[in-house]
């Protein structure tokens, strides 16, 4: 393995990038009534509702206090839930920015274990401290923080005294992340238990920048990875567009089952604020196919007449090795 560094986190962690993301297509205008700070405060107070059939709860479990769980409130009604480990943009130690997106996914019947707690600082400006007032790190780079989420979920699923006992689908596991978290997800996807990997506005650099802004997740060789992988980008205005496309090409060269697509209206961060329901729909279709075996969802990605192939909203659609 080689130690990787990434321009994405430096961009996502600067106040300039926050302004750029807010102004990007697909993101709301950065007015006083809809500022990032106000959205974060609102999402911490009340979890956004998803469009799926399940009401979602967000909680920090007492025996697993460094992660946030998003799941259907009524697990008995929801059936066995596939497991998604999620890592945040800029490798932040809080998932609050993604509350709407993760609630949307969970409302369709998924158990999501997101890195970090919702009571942690969101500020990632150039002068932001490295630790929160309670001593927790503001950023967590190690992909093991995702793998530990899967470890915990599987242990609880096997524990007769746990409310999660036999409520989780231990055979269907996804690693998913945005930006810097997408790199973490790629690396964590080497876990032999992983079923699929979803990389959002991210990828591995082919060449590390000459003057990296700081340490970031470990990379693995593409030949070390094994899962079918979806890479979603936000078009040419996405700062990760180039490395996302190159990562698709490198995954194909390593004979991994791969799919790449791009939604230009969302740029780098606009998909998560609303969230963007078209972006969420495609992510859900992939998860429904890979983790639930949904054949209708498969049709979005496979064949010359695949759903995304014929959808004018999506660009750069390409797939390899998918069946």
Q: Enumerate the domain spans of the chain.
A: 2-320
The H-assigned helical ranges of the chain are: 7-12, 15-23, 36-45, 75-78, 99-106, 144-157, 180-188, 241-253, 277-292, 295-298
Distance CA 179, CA 203 (A): 8
Q: Which pLDDT tens digit goes with each residue over 296-306?
A: 999 999 998 99
Q: Pick the residue with more confidence: 298 or 22? A: 298
Kindly report the backbone phi and psi dihedral angles of residue 260, in degrees, each rounded to the nearest multiple of 5, phi listed first: -130, 140
- Name residue, tokens 């920090």: 60
Per-residue pLDDT band for 124 (boundaries 50, 70, 90) equals low
CA 247 to chain centroid, in Å, comes to 16
Q: Pick the residue with more confidence: 268 or 31? A: 268
Highest-scoring range by mean pLDDT, 88-102, 108-122, 134-148, 276-290? 276-290
pLDDT over threshold 70, residue 125: no
Q: Which pLDDT tens digit goes with each residue over 99-115?
A: 999 999 999 999 999 99
- Name residue, tokens 């480990």: 85
Q: Which pLDDT tens digit goes with each residue over 33-86?
A: 467 778 778 888 889 999 999 999 999 999 999 999 999 999 999 999 999 999
Average the pLDDT over 22-28 and give the result: 30
The contacts of residue 8 (CB under 8 Å, 6+ apart) are 89, 90, 179, 180, 183, 201, 202, 239, 240, 243
pLDDT over threshold 90, residue 274: no
User: What pLDDT, on a 0 to 100 scale, did the predictor assign at position 215?
Assistant: 63
CATH 1.10.357.10 fits 2-320, yes or no: no
Q: What are the Cα distances from residue 183, in Å, to 172, 173, 206, 220?
A: 20, 17, 13, 10
Distance CA 16, CA 70 (A): 30
Per-residue pLDDT band for 4 (boundaries 50, 70, 90) equals very low
> What DSSP line would sit under 6-41, residue for residue?
-HHHHHHTSHHHHHHHHHSTTS----GGG-HHHHHH
Q: Which pLDDT tens digit goes with each residue over 214-271?
A: 567 899 999 999 999 999 999 999 999 999 999 999 999 999 999 999 999 999 999 9
User: What pLDDT, on a 0 to 100 scale, did the predictor assign at position 17?
Assistant: 35
Q: Which pLDDT tens digit goes with each residue over 215-227?
A: 678 999 999 999 9
> What DSSP line would sit under 288-301, residue for residue?
HHHHH--HHHHTTT
Under 8 Å between Cβ of 104 and 71 = no
Q: Which pLDDT tens digit goes with each residue over 149-194?
A: 999 999 999 999 999 999 999 999 999 999 999 999 999 999 999 9
């Amino acid at each position: 393995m080689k130690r990787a560094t990434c321009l994405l986190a430096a961009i996502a962690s600067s106040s300039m990038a926050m302004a750029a993301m807010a102004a990007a297509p697909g993101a709301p205008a950065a007015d006083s009534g809809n500022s990032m700070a106000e959205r974060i405060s609102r999402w911490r107070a009340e979890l956004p509702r998803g469009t799926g059939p399940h009401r979602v709860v967000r909680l920090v479990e007492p025996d697993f206090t460094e992660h946030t769980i998003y799941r259907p409130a009524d697990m008995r009604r929801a059936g066995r839930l596939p497991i998604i480990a999620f890592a945040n943009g800029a490798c932040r130690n809080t998932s609050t920015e993604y509350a709407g997106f993760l609630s949307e996914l969970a409302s369709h019947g998924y158990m999501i274990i997101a890195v970090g707690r919702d009571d942690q600082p969101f500020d990632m400006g150039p002068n932001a401290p490295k630790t929160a007032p309670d001593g927790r790190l503001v950023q967590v780079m190690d992909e093991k923080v995702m793998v530990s989420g899967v470890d915990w979920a599987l242990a609880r699923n096997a524990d007769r005294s746990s409310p999660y006992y036999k409520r989780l689908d231990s055979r269907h596991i996804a690693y998913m992340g945005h930006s810097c978290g997408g790199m973490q997800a790629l690396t964590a996807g080497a876990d032999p238990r992983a079923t699929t990997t979803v990389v959002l506005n991210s990828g591995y650099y082919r060449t590390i920048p000459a003057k990296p802004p700081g340490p970031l997740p470990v990379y693995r060789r593409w030949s070390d990875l094994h899962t079918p992988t979806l890479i979603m980008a936000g078009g040419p205005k996405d700062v990760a567009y180039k490395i996302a496309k190159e990562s698709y090409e490198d995954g194909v060269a390593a004979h991994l089952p791969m799919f790449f697509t791009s939604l230009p209206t969302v740029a780098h961060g606009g998909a998560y604020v609303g969230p963007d329901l078209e972006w969420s729909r495609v992510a859900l279709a992939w998860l429904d196919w890979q983790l639930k075996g949904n054949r209708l969802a498969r049709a979005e990605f496979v064949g010359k007449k695949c759903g995304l192939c014929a959808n004018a909203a999506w660009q750069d659609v390409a797939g390899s090795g998918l069946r």
